[in-house]
Homo-oligomer: A and B are copies of this chain.
Amino acid sequence: MAHPHASLPVAVFDSGVGGLTVLHECLVSLPHEDFTYFGDTARFPYGERSPVALRAFALELGELLLARGAKLLVVACNSATAAALPSLRVALEGRVRVIGVVAPESLLAAGVTRSGEVGLLATPATVASGAYERALATSAPEARLHAVACPELAPLIQAGGEVDDRLVDCVEGYCAPLRAAGVDTVILGCTHYPLVRPLIQRAMGRGVAIVSSGQAIADEVARELRLAGIERKVDRRGSYRFLCSGDPQAFRRVGVRFLQMPLGDVRRVAVAAAPPARAAA
């Protein structure tokens, strides 16, 4: 008999629409599973929030999603993972397993690199947190991480619009130090970056492996469900639905580019009020 939790969805949350690139890979890899996605757009961006605030947000969203039914929880946000993953795991222990970004990507990169020279493109906050250094030191102690902070990249992608020379110049500028370092693997340390993956591949060369959190998380979700014996049968087509804390229409409008799949109904769910985040640096 199937486990009683097997029929519940996998829940994914993020500060906004970026995590939809993670959901995209999960939908490709696990078409038979159901998913619930929560974008905390009312409190976006998380990058400038304090660790204390992020721990409170993560716990609130974890409880909110568990109350709606979830057999696994995915934190598809670098800032929330860095600040809140350990405390969220402690708070939800015995009720649901929690997967974050960073560790699965580092593990994937460790398995892919041959030279041990690994590049990282990420936001300034993620680079400053040192989270990828620590994760890579665990999964590949011999590897060297070359981290490049990319302050302009996520905002340019979020703004949308056509791929233009400014975006190409931006990508090439951030890739230049990684080319100089001769890395053979690049970690995309921000969920926005898969949207410019071809530009990064062109800048780095076809021989360089590019690792994104979407792929890594999809593998990890599959593994966790299998280990816990809570997978759905593969002979069905799963469904997915969207919740957000801000304007559903705005979420839809920006989100379709990130999901690359039909983005149906989006429902607004109220969350605790929070002071405006500091302006992005």
Contacts and interface: CB of A to CB of B under 8 A. Distances in A.
Contact of A28 (B27, B29, B31, B198): B198
Contacts of A206: 28-29
Interface in A241-281: 256, 260-264
Scoring A162, A167, A168, A256 by chain B CB atoms within 10 A of each residue's CB, the highest score goes to A162
Contacts of A262: 162-165, 167-168
A256 B198 contact: no
A262 B199 CA distance: 10
A137 B273 CA distance: 65
B163 A202 contact: no
Contacts of A202: 27-28, 31, 261
A155 interface: no
Interface string A166-198: 011000100000000000000000000000001
A31 B204 CA distance: 9
5 closest residue pairs by CB, A with B:
A28-B202, A31-B202, A29-B206, A28-B201, A164-B262
17 contacts: A24-B198, A27-B198, A27-B202, A28-B198, A28-B202, A29-B206, A31-B203, A31-B205, A162-B256, A162-B263, A163-B256, A163-B261, A164-B262, A165-B262, A167-B262, A198-B260, A202-B261
